[in-house]
Structure 1
Amino acid sequence: MPLNAQTFWTGLVVAVVGFFSSFPIFLQGVLAMQATPEQASSALMAGAVSMGLAGIVLSLWLKVPASVAWSTPGVAFLAVSAPDSAGFAGAVGAFVVAGVLCVIAGFWKPLARLAASIPAAITMAMLAGVLLSICFVPFRALGEAPQVALPIMLTWYVVGRFSRLFAVPAAVLATLVLVVVHNGGGLAAPDHVLTHPVLVVPVFSVSAVLGLGLPLFIVTMATQNIPGVSVLKANNYQPPTGKMFATVGLFSILSAPFGAVATCVAAITAAMCCDEHAHPDPAQRYMAAVWGGVFYCVFGVMAAVVTHIAGLAPPMAMACLAGVALFNVFAGSASAALKDEDTREAAALTFVATSSGVSILGLGGAVWGLLIGCVVHLIKRKM
């Protein structure tokens, strides 16, 4: 097939938006799970390559613009969760479990239906509760390091008035300028340009499965996989849902030992690939997702450079960048959580419990928030 400029450039934009809008929170998530800098670099590489290859495979196989991503809500959940007692190896075990559950959901419809049966308002409330503390950081940084926070926040806001898609990538560029200034106008060269994979032998435990793996599966299914498939169907594509879930789950399992968090079907970038700007012929738009996957793999191979620059950033810069990257996600999830009066009480309790950061019996606030919200919702339905 000859190279088509529209699909090529759409794929590049998809990869730039998908990678640079969320890599800061990805790094925050794996570092919160006690990954070393080398493991974090490997995880970023594995996550990008996994979603790149999965997108290429699904798009060429099914001939649909199946854009794939890492689970941004999932890594946000990790960023505010307590690490497992086994450290990053325990978290990797949870990543494997989440991938296995996704594969099972692809072949066994009752599990997929169970994940989908949790009211969207409650899932969105849990996500909003997870994101709240991350979104606080830029405003705290205004008081502690205004010279860092102000340029990032202003860049994000001003560019966002013209293009929401490029607001976060522009904030990334502003952060890069701050890094250069912070290091005296230059940057030390990284030890290596190409990323070295670091194998982490997973450790499995009940606490990691219940406290990390299961919530990661639920939040990824509810906020990424299911909406991602819905975007394709809304654009008149009919992808086999089970095959898509099983495929991204399989890539999650394969990439987890190198530190990658859940690979999933994308929604926002899938919509970009489905647009007429990707190609005038809907039957050819899948190539935009293929090119997006190629560029994801390229960015993944260069992940060592990204993590090296992140390590040179001034204090609070990366956390501030992660916060602004999730402002709109928080706004959307909070709005969806509290919109319906029938589920508002359960959603509010879920949000408060999740954002409280409580930890009981080794389970964090997100798990308890989800349980409380579901129980309250069921009781209200019975009354």
Structure 2
Amino acid sequence: MSARSVIVPRVERGQPVVTGIAISFIGYTSTFAAVLAGLRAVGATPAEATSGLVALCASLGLVSLVLSRRFRMPITAAWSTPGAAVLVSAGVVDGGWPAAVGGFLLAGALVALTGLWPRLGALVASIPAPIAQAMLAGVLLALCLMPVKGLASHPWQVAPILLTWVIVTVTAPRWAIPAAFGATVVVVCVLAVRGDGLHGPWLPYLTLTAPGLSWAAIAGIGLPLYVVTMAAQNVPGVAIMSSFGYHVPWRATMGVTGLGSMLAAPFGGHAVNLAAISAALPASPQAHPDPARRWLSSQAFGITYLGIAAGTTALLSFLAVAPPEVIGTVAGLGLLGTLVHALTSAVAGPGGPHPPGEQTASVVTFLVAASGTTLAGVSSAFWALVAGLLMRRLLRPAATSEP
């Protein structure tokens, strides 16, 4: 037997493991700051936000392990990054943090119910994609502006992060956000040395919050969180898996991810769902030449996230040395790609630009969502959907009558 025939299979055996570990770290470093910003925006204390992030890491790790092993598919879970943007837009609602936790529970229950009741999924699917994407773009805008605001308020801390991101975006785009996170770690180290050192807990912990609920939490957090999680995560995630030949069992995945969200919610986790963009790598030949072996990458992914959950508290205690705007810079950079996709989808489709009437409705949706305005105690994300659907209805006759 030649050396080549021995070495190649060994490389292939390790390929799924390396892929799973890589995508877990890329996903975490790219968006964890956005999740923290969202949890803090709806009233979580630093301890409660840390607990929420730990719970999300543990829950999505377990969900990935369960689904990939049960169905022998490279199914990976993620937290809802668009959902975190919804939280930033919502702000503190009537009832405070307990009501926000109640909104998280409601969104998770609706996802689980979607698997059992197809009509609910059909109702979400009936929301026009341009309107849903315009709402998502609007709530993302505040987070994506953080690098600009951070540079204005803390230029010497933020500039190295932005410069690193620009250089790596040009040379190796996939690693741009992890590189920016690495630059952030260096900045924090310098601040710690020049300041009074590091403080805070280092061992992982969970903080239990008794959920409450209010009309503002239902309309401003629960429903928008459910809509963007389904429209921007679960539905695209299933489609991406299908493009690689994997037919994800809808009922089971919605049930497990919904249950995962509900288990994480009392500890501050906002939503667990199917991975969307990051789902492509474990499902592709890059994970393993044999499609039947790629599910091992999701196993490695899940185990890695359980390890990340154990180290998250220490990481956040370390990062707490830096001003919030410095960490927010990484969040904004990590969401730029999602913002570009949402804006593009809001005004154009595969066949070209949408009709002027639909574009106007999308722009109205975007502006209302981006305004951050609270009306009757309900956040702008809800009112953006209402305004967009109303404008689309009013302008549809004009749009359809055009030549």
Q: So what's the TM-score if we normalise by structure 1? A: 0.96
- Tell me, yes or no, if the aligned pair for 2:133 and 2:343 is still in contact at 8 Å: yes
2:107 is the alignment partner of 1:95: no
1:345 to 341, 360, 370: 360
Instruction: Give, in angstroms, the shift of residue 315 of structure 1.
Output: 5.0
2:293 is the alignment partner of 1:278: no
2:225 is the alignment partner of 1:216: yes
Instruction: Give, in angstroms, the shift of residue 240 of structure 1.
Output: 1.1
Task: Tell me the distance in 2 between the aligned counterparts of 1:318 and 1:190.
Answer: 17
How much identity, in percent, do the aligned residues show?
A: 36
- Tell me, yes or no, if the aligned pair for 2:89 and 2:379 is still in contact at 8 Å: no
Task: Tell me the distance in 2 between the aligned counterparts of 1:14 and 1:171.
Answer: 16
Instruction: Give, in angstroms, the shift of residue 76 of structure 1.
Output: 1.3
Q: 1:4 to 1:187 in 2, by over 3 A?
A: farther
2:336 is the alignment partner of 1:324: no
Task: Tell me the distance in 2 between the aligned counterparts of 1:118 and 1:207.
Answer: 21
2:236 is the alignment partner of 1:227: yes
Instruction: Give, in angstroms, the shift of residue 86 of structure 1.
Output: 2.1
Secondary structure of the residue aligned to 1:165 is helix
2:274 is the alignment partner of 1:265: yes
Instruction: Give, in angstroms, the shift of residue 381 of structure 1.
Output: 3.6
Alignment of 1:242-321 (within 5 A): 242-314=251-323, 316-321=325-330
Instruction: Give, in angstroms, the shift of residue 354 of structure 1.
Output: 0.8
Task: Structure 1 unaligned segments of length 5 or more: list them.
Answer: none
Q: 1:362 to 1:315 in 2, by over 3 A?
A: closer
1:140 to 132, 142, 149: 149
Q: Please identify, of 360-369 and 69-78, the stretch whose mean Cα deviation from structure 2 is larger.
A: 360-369
Q: What residue number does 1:56 align with?
A: 65
- Tell me, yes or no, if the aligned pair for 1:355 and 1:365 is still in contact at 8 Å: yes
1:57-89 C-alpha deviation (Å, 9 max, x unpaired): 111111111111000000111122221232211
CA RMSD in angstroms, aligned pairs only: 1.7
Task: Tell me the distance in 1 between the aligned counterparts of 2:152 and 2:83.
Answer: 29
Q: So what's the TM-score if we normalise by structure 2? A: 0.91
Task: Tell me the distance in 2 between the aligned counterparts of 1:44 and 1:301.
Answer: 11
One-letter amino acid of the counterpart of residue 208, structure 1: A
Q: What residue number does 2:371 align with?
A: 356
Secondary structure of the residue aligned to 1:34 is coil
Task: Tell me the distance in 2 between the aligned counterparts of 1:85 and 1:238.
Answer: 41
Task: Tell me the distance in 2 between the aligned counterparts of 1:218 and 1:301.
Answer: 30
Q: What residue number does 2:81 align with?
A: 72
Q: What residue number does 1:378 align with?
A: 393
Q: What residue number does 1:7 align with?
A: 16
Instruction: Give, in angstroms, the shift of residue 382 of structure 1.
Output: 5.1
Alignment of 1:20-169 (within 5 A): 20-169=29-178
1:33-55 C-alpha deviation (Å, 9 max, x unpaired): 11112111111100011111101
Instruction: Give, in angstroms, the shift of residue 196 of structure 1.
Output: 0.8
- Tell me, yes or no, if the aligned pair for 2:94 and 2:377 is still in contact at 8 Å: no
Q: 1:82 to 1:186 in 2, by over 3 A?
A: closer
Secondary structure of the residue aligned to 1:316 is helix
One-letter amino acid of the counterpart of residue 44, structure 1: L
Secondary structure of the residue aligned to 1:236 is coil
Instruction: Give, in angstroms, the shift of residue 4 of structure 1.
Output: 2.6
Instruction: Give, in angstroms, the shift of residue 163 of structure 1.
Output: 2.9
Task: Tell me the distance in 1 between the aligned counterparts of 2:344 and 2:290.
Answer: 35
Secondary structure of the residue aligned to 1:260 is coil
Instruction: Give, in angstroms, the shift of residue 111 of structure 1.
Output: 0.4
1:147-179 C-alpha deviation (Å, 9 max, x unpaired): 122111111121122333221111111111111
Instruction: Give, in angstroms, the shift of residue 142 of structure 1.
Output: 2.4
Q: What residue number does 1:179 align with?
A: 188
Task: Tell me the distance in 2 between the aligned counterparts of 1:282 and 1:319.
Answer: 38
Q: 1:166 to 1:185 in 2, by over 3 A?
A: farther
Q: 1:89 to 1:145 in 2, by over 3 A?
A: same
Task: Structure 2 unaligned segments of length 5 or more: list them.
Answer: 1-9, 399-403
* Number of aligned residue pairs: 382
One-letter amino acid of the counterpart of residue 354, structure 2: E
One-letter amino acid of the counterpart of residue 360, structure 1: L
**Structure number, greater radius of gyration:** 2
One-letter amino acid of the counterpart of residue 382, structure 2: V
1:78-131 C-alpha deviation (Å, 9 max, x unpaired): 122221232211111000000000011111001001111111111111111111
Task: Tell me the distance in 2 between the aligned counterparts of 1:190 and 1:57.
Answer: 36
Moved over 6 A (4+): none
Task: Tell me the distance in 2 between the aligned counterparts of 1:345 and 1:314.
Answer: 39
One-letter amino acid of the counterpart of residue 239, structure 1: V
